[in-house]
Amino acid sequence: GIQVEQSPPDLILQEGANSTLRCNFSDSVNNLQWFHQNPWGQLINLFYIPSGTKQNGRLSATTVATERYSLLYISSSQTTDSGVYFCAVGPGGYQKVTFGTGTKLQVIP
């Protein structure tokens, strides 16, 4: 099956700093999503981005499908950004997605 690797596995930031999270995948995909899992376990859908670039406030994401990677940018980080960030990829349609290994982010005041 498809392999999904995320880096870095852990990241500690000072509040206000910027960061880039990476998601590499081993096969072509038609579905790629970024999620934020908060300390209570809830998965928040950040972006549906199988290709191209999207921005939502301080967050933006870029997927280069031909090179099989996606990047999540967090600017001016806040303590509420802490949690685990997952990318999930799949072939599209109604087929299953595979989750990456996750990046645990801690933003300190």
Partner 1 sequence: GAVVSQHPSWVICKSGTSVKIECRSLDFQATTMFWYRQFPKQSLMLMATSNEGSKATYEQGVEKDKFLINHASLTLSTLTVTSAHPEDSSFYICSATGQHQNYGYTFGSGTRLTVV
* Rounded-to-integer distance, Cα 60 and Cα 47, Å: 8
Q: Does 43 bind partner 1 (CB under 8 A)?
A: yes
Give yes or no for a contact between 107 and 15, defined as CB atoms under 8 angstroms apart: yes
- From candidates 13, 23, 29, 33, binder to partner 1 by CB under 8 A: 33
The answer for 65, left when phi > 0, alpha when psi is -120 to 50, beta otherwise, is: alpha
CB of 30 to partner 1, least distance (A): 10
* Rounded-to-integer distance, Cα 70 and Cα 75, Å: 16
CB of 83 to partner 1, least distance (A): 12
Q: Does 26 bind partner 1 (CB under 8 A)?
A: no
Cα angle, residue 20 at apex, residues 95 and 22 outer, rounded to 5°? 35
Scanning residues 58 to 97, which ones bind partner 1 (CB under 8 A)? 86, 88, 92, 94, 96-97
- Please identify which residue in the block is written with the tokens 């997952």: 86
- From candidates 21, 29, 35, 83, binder to partner 1 by CB under 8 A: 35
CB of 88 to partner 1, least distance (A): 7
- Please identify which residue in the block is written with the tokens 């998601």: 23
Binding positions for partner 1, rule: CB under 8 A: 31, 33, 35, 41-43, 45, 48, 86, 88, 92, 94, 96-102
